[in-house]
Amino acid sequence: MESERGSATGVLERQAESQLEVVRAELEEVLSHANTGVAVYQAVEDGRDFIIVDFNHGAEEIERISKADVIGKSALDVFPGIKEFGLFDVFQRVWRTGQAEHHPISIYRDKRITGWRRNYVCKLPNGCVMAIYSDVTLSKQSEMATRMNEQRFQAIANYTYDWEVWIGPTGRVLWTNPAATRISGYSIEELLAMRDYPGPLVFEPDRERLMRIFHSAVEGSTGNEQFRIKTKEGKVLWAEMSWLPIYDEKGNPLGHRESLRDVTARKLAESAAELAEQEKEAILDSMEERILHLDADNSVLWANQAACDEIGLVRQEVIGRLCEEVHADWHEPWGTWPSVQAMETGRHIEMERTSAEGRIWFIQASPVHDRHGETVGGVEIALDVSRYKRTEEALHELRQEYTELETKAEAADPAEEQG
């Protein structure tokens, strides 16, 4: 009886395994031909990264990349925009909790590809994370085109501070909002009638570059660029432009949308900051003190010329190195940098150190805080005081000799009187 039950159980198990294999094969066949993208990721480094272990045909079509080019590679390398997109955080949560999550429709961007994606992420029994997703770019772009035809959108766009433009598939201006006149000085009627748009609006040195960008936008590209505008009155302004293709509900191209913003004040501020940085470098480079600025991760953010000369590297070679990779005479061979000590303790530090070569250094170090009081770096200033110390010692010796002579002279005076 026992053997009959065991035999029956074995048959049932084999049947179940066979059915499971059929289901797996069917699922694999469906996924290999589905338009939906399916990617499987294996967590490594305790979830700090995810390696791609499977990638179906639908994912290849959506991402315009072959399976052979991604298998075994880091998700962060293949999809460098995944953290900003928000999907990487979903991977980590699903991997840790096992609870599946929907990632809302969002636009993914990196240097290679841009598009709207809808994702569903779950954890598989083997511990891997699976993302099932679809490309909804066409529907989102059609939605945008539809909204552009709605009166509600028109009312909002007319009061948008930025200059909004709808360019048709042939490169002609179809619509623009009143901000165009405020920024460019040209009336809406003049812009609509401008056959060689945007040529007359662009400052001559930037014109050729921007016309190339404009033609690529007409062909369907997406991007962001800064250039100079020459207004109708002849004034030169800095503008930042972003553009995006738009489509109707059937996916037919309706041209592209441009959004321009006057960034002259920001560019002037950047120029002023750059000039201030140059002035700071000129002042600090003229000082004999060795000055080093460290980031919170103990890498060198900046060094003045005296410090670079002492270290024996040019500034470009010093910046970015970790402190243990930089050797300076005032640092102990195996000790902690004074600036690192200042960051760790949160206090200003002053000390003297004598190097192996016998040079005496006076060192000051202080932590650098942000506006919230958090330590974000450290500054270290070292001055070679060897000559001063030697002079001080010589003066001290002279004072001692003078005191001794004075004492002897005073001791001799009574003897002279008695004689």
The CA dihedral of 189, 192, 196, 201, to the nearest 10 degrees, is: 60
Q: Which of 99, 113, 103, 90 is nearest to 134 (CA)?
A: 103
Return d(Cα 75, Cα 43) in angstroms, integer. 10
Tokens read off for 46: 């305790």
**In which element (H, E) is residue 14 found?**
helix 2-33
The CA dihedral of 71, 74, 77, 82, to the nearest 10 degrees, is: 110
Return d(Cα 233, Cα 186) in angstroms, integer. 9
Pairing of strands 236-247, 290-295: unpaired
The DSSP string of 22-87 is HHHHHHHHHHHH-SSEEEEEEEEGGGTEEEEEEE-HHHHHHHT--GGGTTTSBHHHH-TTHHHHTH
For residue 104, give the 3-state DSSP assignment. strand
Q: Is 116 buried (19+), middle (13-18) or exposed (0-12) by CB count in 10 A?
A: middle
Q: Over its length of 419 residues, how does the chain's per-residue pLDDT go in tens digits?
A: 555 545 555 555 565 455 545 444 444 544 444 468 999 999 999 999 999 999 998 899 899 899 999 999 999 999 999 999 999 999 999 999 999 999 998 889 898 888 889 999 999 989 999 999 998 888 777 676 665 655 555 655 666 778 899 998 888 888 888 889 999 999 999 999 888 899 999 999 999 999 999 999 999 999 999 999 999 999 999 999 999 998 887 788 889 999 999 888 788 777 766 766 777 777 778 888 888 988 989 899 888 888 999 889 998 898 888 888 888 888 877 778 888 989 999 999 888 888 888 888 888 888 988 888 889 899 998 888 888 777 766 666 667 766 766 776 777 665 555 54
Domains of the chain: 23-135 (3.30.450.20), 142-262 (3.30.450.20), 269-384 (3.30.450.20)
Return d(Cα 294, Cα 339) in angstroms, integer. 7
Return d(Cα 120, Cα 133) in angstroms, integer. 6
Return d(Cα 291, Cα 358) in angstroms, integer. 21
